[in-house]
Amino acid sequence: MKKICWPLRRLRMTLGVAFALAASATASAMSSDMAATAALVLEPQTMNHSADPCTDFFEYANGKWLASNPVPADRSRYTAYDEVSERNLAALKALVTEARTAAADGAQAGRAAALVGAYYRSGMDEVRIEAAGATPLAGELARIAGLKRRADLPALLGHFHASGIAPLFGFGVDQDAKNTVRYIAQLGQGGLGLPDRDYYLNQDEKTRTIRAQYQAHVARMLTLLGQTPTAAQQDAVIVLALETRLARASLSKVALRDPQASYHLVDLAGLQKIAPQVDWRRYFASVGLPAPEQFNVGQPLFFAEAAKMMAGVPLAHWRTYLRWQLVSAAASDLSSPFVDADFAFKGRILAGTLELQPRWKRVLTTIDGAVGEALGELYVEKYFGPEAKVEALDMVANIKLAMRQTIGELAWMTPATKAEALKKLDTVVVKIGYPDRWRDYSALQIDEQSYFGNSLRAAQFEFRRNLAKLGGPIDRGEWGMTPPTVNAYYNATMNEMVFPAGILQPPLFHVKADAAANYGNTGATIGHELTHAFDDEGRQFDAAGNLKSWWSPADETAFLARVKVIETQYDDIVPIDGVHINGKLTAGENIADLGGLKIALKALMLAQKARPQPAEIDGLSIQQRFFVAYAQSFRANIRPEKLRLQLATNPHSPEKYRVLAPLANMPEFAAAFACPAERSPLRPANQRVDIW
């Protein structure tokens, strides 16, 4: 079931050569064992050695892999991270199958295994799920049908929010961005069924077509709830009109990147003034809270409009909208007609995916989202050893040292601001592998006979766990990703970077791999997340995670001028059919890509002094191996529909340009491959940018 999103969660996620330098005597004596361990991360067999690294480095580093790894039918893209995710899914399947068998045999199992095993059994019970059809939604549909008085709408919204379904807006508890030692209630815009507000507002032919397909999809889903086709089509028009009105009141994704624009601290009277048509006390009573003393209302103009809609839109239209929101959120946990209809739009139309994933993969993904720390506990116990954590921490230490040196060398930053930057750097917390304390799921009931019920109860459990933070101390041991996740993130209000166990494995990382490969791949990821602390969003938060300026006006001006260069560079890139990268939307990730790569290279040189690596492996110098490993970390094939979706909604640039665009600003790359001026990928000196 679709999970509710807290409105202000600031997690910044990742996702012999003709041109080689001359070999040294050390290289010629290198053992085949060293080459084999190097290939655990850097894979020379996937390169296209006939391509010129100076003119097409992405093809040079990845050409054979790109040619031999088309996007699988059940995916919209296929990347190095997806390779690892597929292996993780297979490993998790073995774990839950073992837990499922133990539960079926009545064998004694640990709490996590019993929980996960029962959940998996419920999800794999196709006979029961197919027989149930829409029946699992009967109780919630009856609640919606019972909405007869406008005064009851806030309480009904609160009920759904407390169940992990987020019609109209989002609500949760998170750190106060300007006083991070406390939690406060957070309200944020939401309620849309399409990926972004611009899907409702843009008038180009492609977007109009998607809107028409979306309207047909809404109608199809409503017919599965028992409505006649005619009534469902009429109601789909109502849903689209209501959501379009919400979209017009919503901030764009670019505007949402400004943390100041989404911070408006008010008390209950202030909230009532923003949205006077809503009985907020009834809403909060419904979610299970007394009215909090203070709130962050992320987008006041949105809530003003939403309140007018709650007062003026006919109740019949609200019942229609809520039925749609319910079935859209629940579809993946229901019988195959719902699953297939949901996939036909979200998977095939929006992302270009050809086939639905096998059931076991979908169930595991649901379990990871619902009770991921229970699943992660099993995963870590079997698959994650202490050696990976030790090696990763060593890399982090070198990368933080490299960042310290970089800050000290900045010509454009004054000493006072440098001192604040170093203070922030020194307080960055690093989490690797898995939490120190596993989440306690003892209050969560999992029933082998109710897959949808399990997802609903898990969402309610998570909502209650989140609300319980209000008034309590900050939980600095909390993780925003589960251990099997193949990703990483930086959290600005915690001033922490987090690397789950799932990302610390080949072809992204290996404890025995060549350092150049590890630093080019996972090292650049660590540098990327660290740079997020100082990108155009992260730099607005101080060492304690507070949204508070620590920049002199002159330094801020110098920084923003450099950011503008980055934005312009990416604005000029056209990945598909006249669709440009949005330089403002992707600025933070692009800054982190460039900064992370430069810092990781500097850290590699520090590591090389302490623990020298062979000068050459497979005909590649240390610097060349570093850059090839970086490019291989972003190898990707992607369907056109998914690429369009990414360009419209994702703050990350497409993978190919996460490689080529940073390298065009790095003389170190051109030097590593001895690129002559006429074939150099470098931008002219007056067009390059260097921030961190």
- Which residues, 6 or more positions from 691, have their beta carbon under 8 angstroms from its beta carbon? 559, 562, 563, 566, 591, 594, 595
In degrees and rounded to multiples of 5, residue 182 shows phi and psi of -135, 155
pLDDT > 90? residue 77? yes
Structure tokens at 591: 């800054």
* pLDDT given for residue 38 in this prediction: 55
In degrees and rounded to multiples of 5, residue 670 shows phi and psi of -60, -35
Q: Please, are residues 551 and 579 in contact by the beta-carbon 8 Å criterion?
A: no
- Helices first, then strands: H and E counts in the chain: 30, 12
Structure tokens at 622: 């240390």
Q: Please, are residues 574 and 580 in contact by the beta-carbon 8 Å criterion?
A: yes
* pLDDT given for residue 27 in this prediction: 31
Q: Is 489 helix (H, G, I), strand (E, B) or coil?
A: strand
Q: Residue 273's Cα: distance from chain center in Å?
A: 34
Q: For residue 41, name the pLDDT band (cuts at 50, 70, 90).
A: low
Q: Please, are residues 322 and 140 in contact by the beta-carbon 8 Å criterion?
A: no
Q: Please, are residues 436 and 142 in contact by the beta-carbon 8 Å criterion?
A: no
For helices 315-330 and 138-145, angle between their N-to-C axes, nearest 10 degrees: 170
pLDDT tens per residue, range 461-483: 999 999 999 999 999 999 999 99
If 0-12 CB within 10 Å is exposed, 13-18 middle and 19+ buried, where does residue 50 land? exposed
pLDDT average, residue stretch 237-256:
98
Report percent pLDDT > 70 for the chain: 93
Structure tokens at 300: 């006041």
d(CA 603, CA 605): 5
Structure tokens at 583: 């330089």
Amino acid (one-letter) located at 493: T
Q: How many CB atoms lie within 10 A of CB 148?
A: 9
Angle at 545 between CA 542 and CA 546, to 5 degrees: 70
Structure tokens at 20: 């080689």
Domains belonging to the chain, first-starting first, are 11-68+384-437+477-687 (3.40.390.10), 150-330 (1.10.1380.10)
443: nearest Cα among 423, 457, 427: 457
In degrees and rounded to multiples of 5, residue 198 shows phi and psi of -65, -20
pLDDT tens per residue, range 519-566: 999 999 999 999 999 999 999 999 999 999 999 999 999 999 999 999
Name the one residue in this structure whose structure tokens are 């008034």.
471
pLDDT > 50? residue 30? no
CA atoms within 13 A on the CB side of 509: 27
Q: Pairing state of beta strands 179-189 and 294-297?
A: parallel
d(CA 302, CA 616): 58
pLDDT average, residue stretch 249-262:
97
182: nearest Cα among 431, 437, 429, 469: 469
* pLDDT given for residue 512 in this prediction: 87
pLDDT tens per residue, range 379-430: 999 999 888 899 999 999 999 999 999 999 999 999 999 999 999 999 999 9
d(CA 121, CA 102): 11
* pLDDT given for residue 350 in this prediction: 97
Any bridge partners for residue 266, and if so which? 295
Name the one residue in this structure whose structure tokens are 């940018």.
689
Three-state secondary structure string covering 116-141: HHHHHHHHHCHHHHHHHCCHHHHHHH
Q: For residue 13, name the pLDDT band (cuts at 50, 70, 90).
A: low
d(CA 572, CA 565): 11
* pLDDT given for residue 605 in this prediction: 95
Three-state secondary structure string covering 42-81: CCHHHCCCCCCCCCCHHHHHHHHHHHHCCCCCCCCEEEHH
pLDDT tens per residue, range 301-328: 999 999 999 999 999 999 999 999 999 9
Q: Rg (Cα) of the chain, in Å, rounded?
A: 26
pLDDT > 70? residue 106? no
d(CA 632, CA 34): 19
pLDDT > 50? residue 220? yes
Element holding 342 (H helix, E strand): helix 336-343
Cα torsion 589, 529, 639, 666 to 10°: value is: 60
Q: For residue 596, name the pLDDT band (cuts at 50, 70, 90).
A: very high
pLDDT > 60? residue 253? yes
Structure tokens at 341: 């209809």
Q: Please, are residues 40 and 510 in contact by the beta-carbon 8 Å criterion?
A: yes
Structure tokens at 516: 């150049």
The overall average pLDDT reported for the chain is 92
Any bridge partners for residue 620, and if so which? 617
If 0-12 CB within 10 Å is exposed, 13-18 middle and 19+ buried, where does residue 459 land? buried
d(CA 440, CA 383): 21
Q: How many CB atoms lie within 10 A of CB 9?
A: 17
pLDDT average, residue stretch 126-154:
98
